[in-house]
């Protein structure tokens, strides 16, 4: 079996070498010639998989993207050509939710507010939005949910307009849908942006095109008071650099890039290929994840709600990502910063011990491991 895998996908040799010969490719410059005689294509979000790329793919039977988003894949073409397709739903949901929590705490610290005093609107309540909702609720934060396509799990849902006008924080977790009734491309256009309340915190870790970046720049240039947290941008990797000046925390589409999130993506493709080939999976994530720098933390009795911020930021502080893009974007470029993103762990890599039952429960809901019997 010949396997072609994106060079930015971790653990490909570890998971896939048993299946055959592996060749790595640059996700931005993959071309049709490279697909000749290839059986399995493993991509990330930056490769457009369509009729042009696959025009010479004479043997291709399996396409997997180690991502949640699928807007780069022409699934109709794959179905028509009898090519199996899978993505990795949920692989990096926890990472994105933790990115939002880290951002919120960083703004709370810099602007001197309590996260519990903010109402957070979540637009798109699928894998990521639901996990974020659980974590925010555990912290005592009120959430407003909007998802016209997902009215499940006994939640109260509001309309887009209600959420956008009532929330102090708006966090976007929709897929990119380019047209139709539930279109999300430019969901935040000039009109919506203009109507936002002053001082709203707008967080986008979904897809760049969900916010009209030119319209957003125009609003900010005319003095609109918004706190912007942007992980994703229109036209990556050639983003609208002028917008950066107005962004409180900017990053290079890495909200999902924890070690766990990326490795889970590879593992899900491995499991799908095993299933397709009637093989029992041999490996699991824990076989390959390194020990975290901080593995155990024992909390003392004085640990308070306020200390959760410090705990969260000891695992992941979004400001380190902002530092990277601010200092190095123009020198190194967007893709270089993504490829060389420092190792980041999820809260679950850290085990917490506390004698306070309520606190232990809250931290468990936030995603930390608990290592005493008080769980
Ligand atoms: N920044 C990153 O690193 C990163 C990482 C992972 C995923 N993502 C992006 O986040 C998106 C969401 O991920 P997910 O796993 O939660 O996906 P998901 O499919 O589980 O959830 C998306 C939710 O959005 C809802 N939705 C669709 N159209 C909507 C609309 N018009 N208004 C409101 N809700 C709408 C859907 O019903 C669904 O429940 C992905 O599609 C991907 O584009 C980004
Ligand atoms: O959709 C996703 O899962 C994410 O956006 C994913 O993390 C994108 O990152 P990439 O595949 O480009 O590394």
* Residue 345: CATH number of its domain: 3.30.1370.170
Whether residues 240 and 131 share a domain: the answer is yes
Buried b (16+ CB within 10 A) or exposed e, 282-300: ebeeeeebeebeeeebebe
Of 46, 89, 128, 262, the residue with max ligand 1 atoms within 8 A of its CB, to mutate for a pocket test, comes to 128
Rounded Cα distance, 82 and 159, in Å? 39
Whether residues 98 and 240 share a domain: the answer is yes
Whether residues 131 and 20 share a domain: the answer is no
CA of 100 to the centre of ligand 1 (A): 14
* Residue 192: CATH number of its domain: 3.40.50.720
Whether residues 265 and 156 share a domain: the answer is no
Whether residues 97 and 237 share a domain: the answer is yes
Whether residues 61 and 177 share a domain: the answer is no
Task: Find out whether 256 is annotated in a ligand binding site.
Answer: yes
Write the CB contacts of 213 (distance below 8 Å, at least 6 apart in sequence). 233, 234, 235, 239, 240, 243
CA of 95 to the centre of ligand 2 (A): 11
Whether residues 124 and 230 share a domain: the answer is yes
pLDDT in tens, the chain (375 residues): 999 999 999 999 999 999 999 999 999 999 999 999 999 999 999 999 999 999 999 999 999 999 999 999 999 999 999 999 999 999 999 999 999 999 999 999 999 999 999 999 999 999 999 999 999 999 999 999 999 998 776 789 999 999 999 999 999 999 999 999 999 999 999 999 999 999 999 999 999 999 999 999 999 999 999 999 999 999 999 999 999 999 999 999 999 999 999 999 999 999 999 999 999 999 999 999 999 888 899 998 888 877 899 999 999 999 999 999 999 999 999 999 999 999 999 999 999 998 888 888 999 999 999 986 544
Domains identified in the chain, total number: 3
Whether residues 283 and 325 share a domain: the answer is no
Write the CB contacts of 185 (distance below 8 Å, at least 6 apart in sequence). 176, 177, 178, 179, 209, 210
Task: Find out whether 205 is annotated in a ligand binding site.
Answer: yes
CA of 146 to the centre of ligand 1 (A): 12
The reported pTM is 0.96
Which residues span the domain enclosing 68?
A: 2-87+258-287
Domain annotation covers residue 375: no
Q: Which ligand 1 atom minimizes the distance to the CA of 67? A: 6
Helix (H, G, I), strand (E, B) or coil at 51: coil
């Amino acid at each position: 079996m010949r396997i072609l895998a994106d060079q930015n996908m971790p653990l490909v040799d570890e998971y896939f070498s048993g299946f055959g010969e592996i060749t790595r490719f640059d996700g931005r410059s993959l071309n049709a010639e490279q697909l000749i005689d290839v059986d399995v294509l493993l991509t990330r979000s930056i490769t457009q998989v369509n009729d042009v790329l696959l025009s010479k793919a004479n043997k291709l039977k399996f396409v997997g993207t180690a991502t949640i988003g699928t807007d780069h894949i022409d699934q109709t073409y794959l179905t028509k050509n009898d090519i199996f397709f899978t993505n990795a739903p949920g692989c990096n949901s926890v990472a994105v939710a933790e990115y939002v929590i880290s951002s919120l705490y960083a703004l709370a610290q810099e602007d001197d507010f309590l996260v519990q005093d903010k109402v957070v609107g979540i637009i798109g309540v699928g894998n990521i939005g639901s996990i974020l909702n659980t974590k925010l609720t555990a912290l005592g934060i009120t959430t407003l949910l909007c998802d016209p396509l997902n009215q499940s799990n006994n939640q109260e849902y509001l309309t887009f307009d209600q959420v956008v006008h009532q929330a102090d924080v708006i966090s976007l977790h929709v897929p990119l849908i380019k047209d139709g009734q539930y279109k999300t491309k430019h969901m935040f256009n000039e009109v919506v942006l203009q109507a936002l309340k002053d001082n709203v915190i707008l967080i986008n870790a979904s897809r760049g095109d969900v916010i009209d970046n030119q319209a957003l720049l125009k609003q900010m240039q005319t003095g609109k008071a918004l706190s912007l947290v942007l992980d994703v941008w229109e036209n990556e990797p050639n983003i609208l650099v002028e917008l950066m000046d107005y962004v409180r925390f900017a990053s290079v589409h890495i909200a999902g890039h924890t070690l766990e999130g990326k490795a889970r993506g590879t593992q899900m493709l491995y499991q799908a290929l095993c299933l397709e080939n009637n093989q029992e999976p041999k490996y699991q994530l824990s076989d390959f994840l390194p020990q975290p720098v901080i593995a155990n933390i024992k909390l003392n009795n004085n640990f308070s709600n306020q200390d959760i911020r410090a705990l969260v930021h000891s695992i992941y502080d979004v400001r380190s990502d902002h530092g990277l893009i601010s200092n190095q974007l123009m020198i190194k470029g967007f893709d270089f910063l993504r490829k060389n993103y420092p190792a980041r762990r999820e809260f679950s890599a850290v085990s917490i011990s506390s004698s306070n039952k309520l606190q232990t429960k809250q931290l468990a809901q936030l995603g930390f491991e608990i290592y005493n019997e008080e769980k």
